Amino acid sequence: MKQSVITARVDQRIKKLADQVCASKGLIMARFIEDAILDKIEELTDASEVQKLRREPTRPLSEILKEL
């Protein structure tokens, strides 16, 4: 798998917390950051799906039960 470097400035307190979590859980920082990015992407994708679902027309439960 090809890899890329991401450089970002973060608050020192956040970096210190990330270091502490990785050290205490035996995690590699790069993997920790990669997982966090993937989790956020998934969260944002799910949020957009929820918005789409909210715009879908609704039907009465009685109508759905008749179809069953």
Structural domain for 23, as ranges: 12-67
When divided into structural domains, the chain yields a total of 1
Structural domain contains residue 3? no
Q: How far apart are the first and last CA of the chain?
A: 48
Global pTM?
A: 0.65
Cα separations (Å) of 8 from 5, 12, 15, 33, 62? 10, 12, 11, 11, 53
Structural domain contains residue 5? no
Structural domain contains residue 33? yes
* CB hemisphere CA count around 33 (13 angstroms): 14
Q: What is the pLDDT of residues 42-63, one digit of tens each?
A: 888 887 787 777 777 888 888 8
pLDDT band (50, 70, 90) for residue 1: confident
Q: What is the pLDDT of residues 30-39, one digit of tens each?
A: 999 999 999 9
pLDDT band (50, 70, 90) for residue 18: very high
